[in-house]
Amino acid sequence: METAAAIDVLRARHLAPEAHCAQARSLALRVVQMLSKLDAALA
């Protein structure tokens, strides 16, 4: 998950607030889950 890695970099370098990074990571995870489920349904 490259998106999660980018969010981790923002958090580690203090370029974004911790709370925003946590929310963004949760949203990214949810998007990946939805796309994986969609892919399985179409296969």
Do residues 25 and 4 touch, judged by C-beta distance below 8 A?
yes
Mean pLDDT of 17-41: 96
Q: Where are the alpha helices (DSSP H) in 1-43?
A: 2-12, 18-42
Place of tokens 């998950």: 1
| Residue 1, pLDDT above cutoff 80 | no
Going from N- to C-terminal start, the domains of the chain cover: 2-42
pLDDT digits (tens, 9 = 90+) for 9-23: 999 999 999 999 999
pLDDT, position 24? 97
**What token pair was written down for 10?**
């923002």
Residue 39's pLDDT band, with cuts at 50, 70 and 90, is very high
pTM: 0.80
